[in-house]
Amino acid sequence: DAGITQSPRHKVTETGTPVTLRCHQTENHRYMYWYRQDPGHGLRLIHYSYGVKDTDKGEVSDGYSVSRSKTEDFLLTLESATSSQTSVYFCAISESFVYEQYFGPGTRLTVT
Amino acid sequence: GQQLNQSPQSMFIQEGEDVSMNCTSSSIFNTWLWYKQDPGEGPVLLIALYKAGELTSNGRLTAQFGITRKDSFLNISASIPSDVGIYFCAGQLRGNEKLTFGTGTRLTIIP
């Protein structure tokens, strides 16, 4: 299994509060991704990174920001959580863009 | 966004049966990936396909990259209880770099 961890694994937060999810990898892969998974929608890309401090938006980036200060860590921040951001969030990594992405165990976020 | 039509949405089979599922699109794809997801866990990559017509196996799993480049197929032979889960296809569109995911096929084994 690829060395990918996500923290926290579960979080309940209130509407309007900031939330940061962390993805940590030990594979030294260049590319890292954040997805959200919702019933009926499959996996949708939020943001991705192609190197330290290099990030770009995915298809559902509104309300989310990311940062990557080290190769191994990719942070996803919800500046002001909303109920529509209740979801399961997955981090993924790959050696080159798109090529064979490996997923972390996920973070279940509930916004009340 | 681009849609991948994955079918069937769910399957109920008996242990030992063979399974077939597919993913189709109206657009041409460069890459097809197949993943399996167990409850409460992240998707696990099963097979990656990069060439039209390519047929690749991983144990009892076999996947094919359709000749038209618009579809892909996954077969599981002699199913066992640990095959239960949700299977996702994912594809990279030609001219569009990001992966598009199907909505999954849920496989259940009936005792």
What band does B99 get if pLDDT is binned at 50, 70 and 90?
A: confident
Chain B residue set in contact with A, beta carbons under 8 Å: 1, 4, 31, 33, 35, 40-45, 48, 88, 90, 92, 97-99, 101-104
- pLDDT cut 70: percent of chain B above it: 96
Predicted confidence (pLDDT) at residue B53 exceeds the cutoff of 80: yes
State the pLDDT at residue A100: 87
**What's the mean per-residue pLDDT of chain A?**
94
State the pLDDT at residue B95: 60
Provide the residue count of chain A: 112
Q: Is A57 left (phi over 0), alpha (psi -120 to 50) or beta?
A: beta
Q: Closest Cα of chain B to A39: distance in Å? A: 8
CA distances from A72 to A68, A69, B15 (A): 8, 9, 41
Element (H, E) at A37: strand A31-38
State the pLDDT at residue B4: 87
State the pLDDT at residue A20: 98
Inter-chain residue contact A43 with B88, CB threshold 8 Å:
yes
Q: Mean pLDDT over residues A23-28, rounded?
A: 96
Q: Exposed, middle or buried, B40 (CB in 10 Å: 0-12/13-18/19+)? A: exposed
Q: How far apart are CA B31 and CA B65, in angstroms?
A: 8
Phi, psi of B26 (to 5 degrees): -90, -5
Q: Best of B93, B99, B101, B105 to disrupt the A interface by mutation (most A CBs within 10 Å)?
A: B99
Q: Best of A33, A43, A99 to disrupt the B interface by mutation (most B CBs within 10 Å)?
A: A43
The torsion of the CA quartet B101, B77, A104, B90, rounded to 10 degrees, works out to -10
Those residues whose C-beta lies under 8 Å from the C-beta of residue B32, and which sit 6 or more positions away, are B23, B48, B49, B63, B65, B72, B89, B90, B91
Q: Mean pLDDT over residues A44-56, rounded?
A: 94
What band does A42 get if pLDDT is binned at 50, 70 and 90?
A: confident
Predicted confidence (pLDDT) at residue A2 exceeds the cutoff of 70: no
Q: Closest Cα of chain B to A22: distance in Å? A: 15
State the pLDDT at residue A97: 67
In this complex, which of B99, B103, B104 lies closest to A98 when CB atoms are compared? Answer: B99
Inter-chain residue contact A105 with B103, CB threshold 8 Å:
no
For the stretch A63-110, pLDDT in tens is 999 999 999 999 999 999 999 999 999 999 998 766 789 999 999 999
What band does A46 get if pLDDT is binned at 50, 70 and 90?
A: very high
Chain A contact set for B99 (CB, 8 A): 45, 98, 101
Indicate the range of A29-38, B24-33, B91-100 predicted with least confidence.
B91-100
Q: Specify whether the CB–CB gap between B16 and B111 falls below 8 A.
A: no
Q: Specify whether the CB–CB gap between A52 and A69 falls below 8 A.
A: yes
Residue A62's DSSP bridge partners are none
Q: Mean pLDDT over residues A36-48, rounded?
A: 90
What band does B1 get if pLDDT is binned at 50, 70 and 90?
A: low
